[in-house]
Structure 1
Amino acid sequence: MTLDAFDHEKSARITAVDWAALAEDEGKRLKALGVDEGAEVSVIHRGVFGTRDPLAIRIGRMTIALRRAHALAIEVEPV
């Protein structure tokens, strides 16, 4: 399941990231923020408009905003 489809406020572990689906600079930024295989994340907020963009995710003690297109490239499993 991809991160954009994952349940709100539940914990997940990143199982894979499709780095080829992301621009190189976007991938580097996400890696620098800790978004990589094995990291534990949770979706804490979704946008309210039609695309539900952006998503706010918690990774460690940090909260970051992701576009839905980025969340589609991140595969997760429930913890």
Structure 2
Amino acid sequence: MEKNLIPLHELPNGSFGIVKKLTSKGNARRRMLDLGLIHNTCVESLMKSPAGDPTAYQIRGAVIALRSEEASKIFVESIQ
């Protein structure tokens, strides 16, 4: 694993990251790819729910919510 990569769920609110690696498998991987989480895509962490999970992310103009379990399998390079 590259040293500068962090799991998406660790990206602070208001920060941006570039998708570099996706470790999920099967249907979960297909869903992430269908949502636009492909290599070099910019993702913004918008806000966490009041309970802390899920978190809202802006990806390619759409806002989606991902649980920490799903977001932990997406690795990004923080750009902020």
Q: Same fold (TM over 0.5)?
A: yes
Distance across 2 between alignment mates of 1:29 and 1:41: 16
Identity of aligned residues (%): 23
1:43 to 32, 39, 45: 45
| Off by >2 Å, runs of 4+ in structure 1 | none
Per-residue CA shift, 1:2-43, capped at 9, x if unaligned? 1111111111101111123xxx22221111110122110011
Q: TM-score, normalised by structure 2?
A: 0.83
Q: Which of 11, 15, 40 matches 2:16?
A: 11
More helix by share: 1
Q: SS of the counterpart of 2:77? A: strand
C-alpha displacement at 1:57, in angstroms?
A: 0.4
> Which secondary structure does the structure 1 equivalent of 2:9 belong to?
helix
Counterpart residue number, 1:54:
54
Give secondary structure in 1 for the equivalent of 2:21. Answer: strand
State the distance in 2 between where 1:30 and 1:56 align. 14
- Cα distance in 2 for partners of 1:67, 1:3 equals 10
RMSD: 1.1
Mapped partners of 1:27, 1:17: distance in 2: 7
Q: Structure 1: which 5+ runs fail to align?
A: none
* Unaligned stretches of 5+ residues in structure 2: 1-5
